Structure 1
């Protein structure tokens, strides 16, 4: 009876009419047929609801209403996506609703799922083996490739070498059936980098002559500096660029050396070691060491060192005065010319990156500082606040205001001063300025730490030594000798500013060390950013054990 109901389940009314005409066990059969009819009717409702839900999902995904995506996460066109998931869902709903699906139906569905699973596994294995899916079958039988293979070729997964995965065995296309291991060829530097393996003429990674075959598309060329023959050569972590753009041939220009790096990187020690072995004269490039009387907090060389190795551009002005990048450029070029006339090589050493940039690229013609104008701007800032003046600057010079913080008092003051004195925005004057390189053949060397934690430890140890040497007493003596205030550039230097705030009751003494070390770390971070983004010297690890040898390898050929 159950088998008869299954055979006639497509039309429950016909099933009942056949049972009423008689037959063995007619009464029980009629009852069973009515029950089956009710189950079939309920199943039809559930099938219709399931079908409507699947079609609605297909429509929302932009597919044909009669088709659904064949795999989770896939986005393929309905033409290549058949209605297998829809039919499978209908079969499951019918089986669950009627309760009369036999073992034959479930077995058929299971076999269908197994076939699809085998096909997907074959496609994945073929792609992993760097063969087009079904290529062996096509070569033998002339059969067409499956749509999944075309999709994989379109996405760039077929015919290329996998990136970030271990090489797998691949069938040799020459026809002998052997397999070979394909190394990763992802074009990135790594340990043991090597050139691409030479493979056969028919290898799939070899581009077609016209470049038209998708599966044989040309590969991106390997960068020259990553070639196996040049992999072991030493080179800067950042590409060096020429810092001299003079029209005169470089071989005819006198040499000059730039030694720059973050605070506590050992620049002064390295410069003195260079001065012991090469005929150089030291020129300081430090915006804090130009002030007289500020010795401890600026880490100036001691008197004995200065007597043996004199430094130019140290102790130029009093802490009451200001020193600009334009003035430094004039003073530095004069000191370099004097050293060259004496037959020496100028060695400029320091950490004020703006001064290095001004020396190498020149500066625009800007109006000089006006003390009355600056006092007026300071009065406005006291009444309105620096953020309000920053908003005013944004209205007249949005380019300059965009690169300044709303509390950067010194630079906001200078930008407003330039505009009020000249009537032109600072950004326009800088853009119109001539970029003139100095008449020297420059070698720029940057000292950077290989481990930032070691540099931080050096910063902390050096500031502890400054406190022990009497930094607070030095600031108190400066206050007694000069008319100073917290807005002067001298008192804005790292270390001096924190001590000034403690002496004026603006910060607790217990926070002096931590706040000073934190400010020094931030300064070092900005200096390293300058090295990477603007100056780009030849970089050397200042923590390396062979620092002296690395400097000799750069300076020897340059000075010969």
Structure 2
């Protein structure tokens, strides 16, 4: 499909705390664009601070989509994000789209395509959750190997979210999730003129930014966010419950650790996460425009 000047998108990836949101806002204002969240955790309600979701003031007069729209009680899959993004792309009406975030699979859905997995019914999901409830890593590995060996062969770690997702798809469709993933797809932005950017800050600068940002989060309401989340009495395996900062602050609230240790643990976890992000981007986005902010 040929490119059209009315179909433009800027993709801004980068590790956490690299300044992506600020750049996206600048680009969107210059081009009259719409910013679309491309981060797996910023879709959730409640955790604005801990997921570094922009505030209403920071969003300003620029339209922002897919920020804080999903209940933390929901497992919001990559396929569900892709379907939501597809609707936004269809409604763009010629306005440039600025996709910004740190979730590599979301960018792959935009550029090279993602498996078109049918929506899973609540009943199929509940059955999958019941099947792995209370199981440890080895137990989950045995279940997925027995039920869906194709997926099992691709899982480096049988974590609850991935195993439940695969079992739910199998329950709902009778097909392996792996078979959907193998179907040829086109990127959601097929036919768009695309600018691809990866922010690549100096390692020491990023480490300082991560520490400063989490300390600021802690000082401005992160503890209250976790208290509000815990009050919902959610399944601890849900993505929102595993967001960096939640387990650490929850341990502090239970009296297991002191505040300084909670901050230190969260900072270390964030730095490790940023390292994994950078590794993913280097392996999968080497041909993008890498910028040192």
Instruction: Tell me which interval the TM-score lies in, with the shorter structure as reference length.
Output: 0.7 to 0.9
Question: Aligned match of 2:155 in 389, 404, 411?
Answer: 404
- Per-residue CA deviation, residues 508-532 of structure 1 (Å, 9 max, x unaligned), is 2353122211221222122212212
1:461 and 1:513 map into 2 onto residues whose CA distance is 10
Q: Does 1:442 align with 2:194?
A: yes
Query: SS at 1:327's partner residue?
Result: helix
Query: SS at 2:15's partner residue?
Result: coil
The structure-2 alpha-carbon separation of the partners of 1:368 and 1:517, relative to structure 1 and needing over 3 Å to count, comes to same
2:127 and 2:222 map into 1 onto residues whose CA distance is 33
Query: SS at 2:60's partner residue?
Result: helix
Match of 2:85 in 1: 332
Q: Is the 8 A contact 1:445 1:539 kept in 2?
A: yes
2:156 and 2:267 map into 1 onto residues whose CA distance is 22
Query: SS at 1:264's partner residue?
Result: coil
- Per-residue CA deviation, residues 296-339 of structure 1 (Å, 9 max, x unaligned), is 11112222222332311112122222322222223223323433
Q: Is the 8 A contact 2:108 2:187 kept in 1?
A: no
Query: SS at 2:213's partner residue?
Result: helix
Q: Is the 8 A contact 2:144 2:163 kept in 1?
A: yes
Question: Aligned match of 2:269 in 501, 519, 523?
Answer: 519
| TM-score, scaled to structure 2 | 0.87
The structure-2 alpha-carbon separation of the partners of 1:399 and 1:253, relative to structure 1 and needing over 3 Å to count, comes to farther
| TM-score, scaled to structure 1 | 0.48
Considering Cα pairs closer than 8 Å and 6+ residues apart, tell me whether 1 or 2 has the greater RCO: 2
Q: Is the 8 A contact 1:265 1:542 kept in 2?
A: no
- Per-residue CA deviation, residues 243-290 of structure 1 (Å, 9 max, x unaligned), is xxxxx2235662211111110100011112223433322222122222
Shift of 1:429: 2.3
Q: Which runs of 5+ in 2 are unaligned?
A: none
Shift of 1:491: 1.4
The structure-2 alpha-carbon separation of the partners of 1:419 and 1:275, relative to structure 1 and needing over 3 Å to count, comes to closer
Q: Is the 8 A contact 2:128 2:171 kept in 1?
A: no
Q: Is the 8 A contact 1:374 1:417 kept in 2?
A: yes
Question: Aligned match of 1:508 in 247, 254, 257?
Answer: 257
Q: Which runs of 5+ in 1 are unaligned?
A: 1-247, 544-560
1:110-149 aligned at under 5 Å gives the runs: none
Question: Aligned match of 2:246 in 496, 510, 515?
Answer: 496
- Taking only aligned residues, the RMSD between alpha carbons, in angstroms, comes to 2.6
Q: Is the 8 A contact 2:44 2:72 kept in 1?
A: yes
Match of 1:296 in 2: 49
Q: Is the 8 A contact 2:7 2:95 kept in 1?
A: no
Q: Does 1:390 align with 2:133?
A: no
2:180 and 2:28 map into 1 onto residues whose CA distance is 39
Match of 1:476 in 2: 227
- Per-residue CA deviation, residues 219-254 of structure 1 (Å, 9 max, x unaligned), is xxxxxxxxxxxxxxxxxxxxxxxxxxxxx2235662
1:530 and 1:277 map into 2 onto residues whose CA distance is 29
1:424 and 1:272 map into 2 onto residues whose CA distance is 41
Q: Across the two proteins, how many residue pairs are aligned to each other?
A: 291
The structure-2 alpha-carbon separation of the partners of 1:367 and 1:254, relative to structure 1 and needing over 3 Å to count, comes to closer
Shift of 1:406: 3.9
Match of 1:424 in 2: 175
1:282 and 1:471 map into 2 onto residues whose CA distance is 25
